Amino acid sequence: MSLFEPSVESSIAQVRTDIALLHAELTKNDLVVWTGGNVSGRVPGADLFVIKPSGVLYEDLAPENMILCRLDGTVVAGTAGAERSPSSDTAAHAYVYRNMPEVGGVVHTHSTYATAWAARAEAIPCVITAMADEFGGEIPIGPFAIIGDDSIGRGIVQTLTGHRSRAVLMQNHGPFTIGKNARDAVKAAVMVEDVARTVQAARAGGPLVPIPQAAIDSLFDRYQNVYGQAPQGAL
Amino acid sequence: MSLFEPSVESSIAQVRTDIALLHAELTKNDLVVWTGGNVSGRVPGADLFVIKPSGVLYEDLAPENMILCRLDGTVVAGTAGAERSPSSDTAAHAYVYRNMPEVGGVVHTHSTYATAWAARAEAIPCVITAMADEFGGEIPIGPFAIIGDDSIGRGIVQTLTGHRSRAVLMQNHGPFTIGKNARDAVKAAVMVEDVARTVQAARAGGPLVPIPQAAIDSLFDRYQNVYGQAPQGAL
Amino acid sequence: MSLFEPSVESSIAQVRTDIALLHAELTKNDLVVWTGGNVSGRVPGADLFVIKPSGVLYEDLAPENMILCRLDGTVVAGTAGAERSPSSDTAAHAYVYRNMPEVGGVVHTHSTYATAWAARAEAIPCVITAMADEFGGEIPIGPFAIIGDDSIGRGIVQTLTGHRSRAVLMQNHGPFTIGKNARDAVKAAVMVEDVARTVQAARAGGPLVPIPQAAIDSLFDRYQNVYGQAPQGAL
Amino acid sequence: MSLFEPSVESSIAQVRTDIALLHAELTKNDLVVWTGGNVSGRVPGADLFVIKPSGVLYEDLAPENMILCRLDGTVVAGTAGAERSPSSDTAAHAYVYRNMPEVGGVVHTHSTYATAWAARAEAIPCVITAMADEFGGEIPIGPFAIIGDDSIGRGIVQTLTGHRSRAVLMQNHGPFTIGKNARDAVKAAVMVEDVARTVQAARAGGPLVPIPQAAIDSLFDRYQNVYGQAPQGAL
């Protein structure tokens, strides 16, 4: 007996597959070590999302051990994987889904260079055109917050609401990224590490040359509306 | 019914295969992330070039989805891949092919260290013999220019015309490289990142020792005329 | 004829398999080059441990050429692999097993960034939450000691006894990590390099923001007791 | 009809296989890009050595296209691969074999961090025990010399004769390593990059702690005589 209508069950199955596969992008792009990092995705047409189990090795991830959660962060009992604990960051993901209805995917990593900026509580300045394209300006710092209540989720939502950037560097912690779906949030996680590494390397060698704000605006507008095989739209 | 004479169709097929395969060198050498970077190659004996589609993942690249363009940057309708948009950097590649007839291949990446020098608008000084061999001196900075007209292409051509270097670091953007064919331009993209990383590491530890100009000239001359299994010739 | 009771023989076989496989994590995580690095594991219910042979390439490691040792570091003659010399760090591993009965696994590498802090004799400050989770504070420096007697083992034991950290950076040498079993010690070796790299990168760009001690204590307590699919317990 | 006696032919075949396979260690350890880098090995019992062809991609290297040379650096006509040009560094390898009869293998790369120290003309100080083990002290700088005569070979020989180190950093150029055979020289090439990277990272974070000379001497002596499955002996 299914818990949900067939169309929702079908969406859940698709999101489970997507989320399991997208975790491979985290290892392929050297964003995580051991069991660190997590990807989640909203189930279209339902108040549900799918997330990685806690403390499970990347090579053991499969659609059937992804965990289905409600938007309050509780696990849906009786579904595949529900015997395991969800990622210890589940409350933060849930808070984002409850408070940012346009968000379809959330990613968290401790990738090296993004976390380095976070340990300095320093926003990444926008000095490369790829960063203007993807993030529309600087990548902001979120507040210091630790696990145990909604403070991480609240910090993400407060920092990114109304901001062009799909990435926030939570102070002393690491990057969280959002996207219109899980794939888009993974792309943001890959790109935030790429720009964090490049801008750190750039500044290590001498003064940075700023990009004029009008050029940043123009690049962001074009990239969000023209790039790729179909319009993406800013989040 | 073919659009071109058999010999041109055969050249197009060969260039499609080459361009699809050469993109693998960009990922293998860690020059790109996600869908970033692009390689193009001129079709010998025709006013045509082949380039990567926009926003398509590296693992989905194949000869039949490479895109055939005229030298004004427009897609040749009715050919394989033409239903897709070409790389958003197509106009810059086209400008180079129109204005540098000796160029047979163009590559663009946002590789980390080359882009770091570009964000400082700082040319890479020639302090290692491999750089003298390959580039004949410093690697120059091109002007700040953004997508939307011919300004990127013009900046590449103005900087590299009459210059020994096959690589230019476009300010705040990243490296563009040229070559007598696409493979040669890919080699330049690999080498520019290698020297950008090595010289940045060198200078981070203390003062650099310059190479005398006469030695640079001698190394460049020898490498362009003697190295490898057949003479290469400066571009 | 077996040297040990069947249950001990069965434990030995399991530990041989585990130790051979866990060495692959060292190469996969870029912690070692050539034949460097070693993992050992205590045999449950016996005064024995299993360790890698000396100077053998990673691709040649297999359960049957792992070496069975007594807690005084001598090889058990007549067992598989006993014709080879054990790792040159065997005496240090043995000293740890003799003096820290709660330790079930020991790992040693010369991983780049952990060794860099060791060459400065500088403890890694706790400025990222992942480090608070995993190590409960700073990662300490152990004394300068060279091979030839028990001084390395003694330095490890004196530094880590009563310390939250499962990793010590032996001065001018590199990291040693301990764990409740070999897998746990390997995890610590992976994580110590990850935090050594991240904190070095963070500080290279400017001043670090400290984490309040109460937050470090809270994170360490939660992680050791809640994280993952089953309680782990501080070592 | 064979050019050499059967025992020499057999040795040549073995060295061809070894040299072709050992090049894979250069790419696996990220010491080279594109066609850079070369390994050679002396043929035991003959005034011959085997070296890589010039400008050939790593994936195309096979025993039959390695090139057999005399100790004056000339190619032995009529042998496999002889239709190709040998590595452009062949003269330097030949000079070493002629002047250092105890050397059985030579390796040259432009690996990033070793080359960075070379571009500063700065010897790598011995501040980690692995470096004392392997190189017995600092890794020296060789003179600036360019291709075209015996000056590179002479610089290698003058620097390494009577020196404990099997690696020299040729100024503005990169590392050359020697060994009792080709495998041993490859190991030195892997280790010199590892220590160059580690010591650069160490010093980037603050002052280095020196190792007392007596400890360096003791470590070097032990490692050359005890480590591994059989005595190695200092070169």
Closest by Cβ to A112, choosing from C201, C205, C222: C201
CA distances from B113 to B32, B110, B196, D230 (A): 12, 9, 5, 43
Does residue B89 lie within any of the structural domains? Answer: yes
**Structure confidence at residue D2 (pLDDT):** 79
Which chains does chain D touch, 3 or more C-beta pairs < 8 A? B, C
Rounded CA separation C169/D205 (Å): 15
Under a CB-based contact definition with an 8 Å cutoff, are residues D24 and D52 in contact? no
**Structure confidence at residue A233 (pLDDT):** 36
Beta carbons within 8 Å of D134's beta carbon, 6+ residues apart = D166, D188, D191, D195, D223
B-D contacts at Cβ under 8 angstroms = 89
Residue C223 in this model has a pLDDT that exceeds 90: no
What is the distance in angstroms between the CA of the first residue and the CA of the last residue of chain C? Answer: 37
Mutate to test the interface with A, among B57, B67, B87, B172 (most CBs of A within 10 A): B172
**Structure confidence at residue A149 (pLDDT):** 87
User: Per the residue annotation, which of B58, B133, B150, B221 is the catalytic one?
Assistant: B133
Does residue C232 lie within any of the structural domains? Answer: no
Indicate yes or no: CB of D207 within 8 angstroms of CB of C35: no
User: Among C189, C66, C192, which residue's Cα sits nearest to residue C126?
Assistant: C192
Beta carbons within 8 Å of D219's beta carbon, 6+ residues apart = C146, C147, D129, D132, D133
Which of the four pLDDT bands, split at 50, 70 and 90, describes residue C235?
A: very low
Side-chain-facing half-sphere of D85: CA atoms under 13 Å: 13
The stretch C28-34 carries a mean pLDDT of 96
Torsion sign, CA atoms B181, B186, B189, B192: negative
CA distances from B40 to B80, B119, D140, D160 (A): 16, 25, 44, 46
Q: From start to end of A56-154, where are the E strands?
A: 67-70, 105-108, 141-142
Concatenating the DSSP letter of every residue in B24-46 gives HHHHHTT---TT--EEEEEPTTS
The stretch B191-219 carries a mean pLDDT of 97
Q: From start to end of chain A, where are the E strands?
A: 38-42, 48-51, 67-70, 105-108, 141-142, 167-170, 174-179
Rounded CA separation D63/D21 (Å): 8
Under a CB-based contact definition with an 8 Å cutoff, are residues A39 and A67 in contact? no
Does residue C74 lie within any of the structural domains? Answer: yes
Give the range of the structural domain holding residue D168, as residue numbers without chain letter: 6-225
Does residue C204 lie within any of the structural domains? Answer: yes
Is A164 in a helix, a strand, or coil? coil
Rounded CA separation C53/C35 (Å): 10
Under a CB-based contact definition with an 8 Å cutoff, are residues D90 and D66 in contact? no
Does residue A130 lie within any of the structural domains? Answer: yes
* Average pLDDT of every residue of chain D: 94
User: Among A130, A138, A112, A106, which residue's Cα sits nearest to residue A191?
Assistant: A130
Residue D233 in this model has a pLDDT that exceeds 70: no
Is C178 in a helix, a strand, or coil? strand
The stretch D37-43 carries a mean pLDDT of 98
Q: What is the full per-residue pLDDT of chain A (235 aa) written as tens digits?
A: 579 999 999 999 999 999 999 999 999 999 999 999 999 999 999 999 999 999 899 988 999 999 999 999 999 999 999 999 999 999 999 999 999 999 999 999 999 999 999 999 999 999 999 999 999 999 999 999 988 889 999 999 999 999 999 999 999 999 999 999 999 999 999 999 999 999 999 999 999 999 999 999 999 999 888 665 544 433 4
Indicate yes or no: CB of C129 within 8 angstroms of CB of A172: yes
Does residue D231 lie within any of the structural domains? Answer: no
Closest B-chain CA to D172: B128
Rounded CA separation C113/D171 (Å): 26
Is B92 in a helix, a strand, or coil? helix
Does residue A63 lie within any of the structural domains? Answer: yes
For the entire predicted model, the pTM comes to: 0.96
Whether D184 is a known active-site residue: answer no
Residue B234 in this model has a pLDDT that exceeds 80: no
Does residue B1 lie within any of the structural domains? Answer: no
Is A138 in a helix, a strand, or coil? coil
Rounded CA separation A37/A35 (Å): 7
**Structure confidence at residue C31 (pLDDT):** 98
Q: Is D70 exposed, middle or buried (0-12, 13-18, 19+ CB in 10 A)?
A: middle
Number of domains in chain A: 1
Return the residue matching tokens 């064979």.
D2
> CATH number for the domain including C30?
3.40.225.10
Indicate yes or no: CB of B84 within 8 angstroms of CB of A229: yes
